[in-house]
Amino acid sequence: MGKYHVPVMLNECLEGLNINPKGIIVDATFGGGGHSNEILKQLGEQGKLVAFDQDEAAKDNLPNGDERFVFIDQNFEFLHNHLLYQELIPVDGILADLGVSSHQFDTDERGFSYRFDDAILDMRMDKTNSLTAITVLNNYTEEKLADVFYQYGELKNSRQISKQIIAARTQKKIETVADLKNALEKFAPKFKDYKFWSQVFQALRIDVNRELEVLKSLLIQSAAVLKKDGRLVIMSYHSLEDRLVKNFINTGNFNGETEKDFYGNVIRPFNPITRKAITPSDEELAINPRSRSAKLRIAERN
Question: pLDDT tens for residues 203-258?
Answer: 999 999 999 999 999 999 999 999 999 999 999 999 999 999 999 999 999 999 99
Q: Is the pLDDT of residue 67 over 70?
A: yes
Which residue ranges make up each domain of the chain? Answer: 10-102+211-301, 109-209
User: Which fold, 109-209?
Assistant: DNA polymerase; domain 1 (1.10.150)
Average pLDDT over residues 67-88: 93
Q: Is the pLDDT of residue 158 over 50?
A: yes
CATH architecture for the domain at 10-102+211-301? 3-Layer(aba) Sandwich (3.40)
Q: Is the pLDDT of residue 1 over 50?
A: no
Q: What gap in Å lies between CA 1 and CA 190, rounded to an integer?
A: 32
Percentage of the chain beyond pLDDT 70 is 92
Please name which of 202, 71, 191 lies closest in space to residue 148, comparing C-alpha atoms: 202
Average pLDDT over residues 167-173: 97
* 106-123 per-residue burial string, b: 16 or more CB within 10 A, e: under 16: bbbebbbbbebeebbbbb
Q: What gap in Å lies between CA 213 and CA 198, rounded to an integer?
A: 21
pLDDT tens-digit map of 269-300: 999 998 899 999 999 999 888 788 999 999 99
Q: Are strands 295-301 and 226-236 parallel, antiparallel or unpaired?
A: antiparallel
Q: Is the pLDDT of residue 103 over 50?
A: no
Q: What gap in Å lies between CA 218 and CA 77, rounded to an integer?
A: 6
What's the mean per-residue pLDDT of the chain?
Answer: 90
Instruction: Write phi, then psi, for 264 (nearest 5 degrees).
Output: 90, 10
pLDDT in the model for residue 100: 67
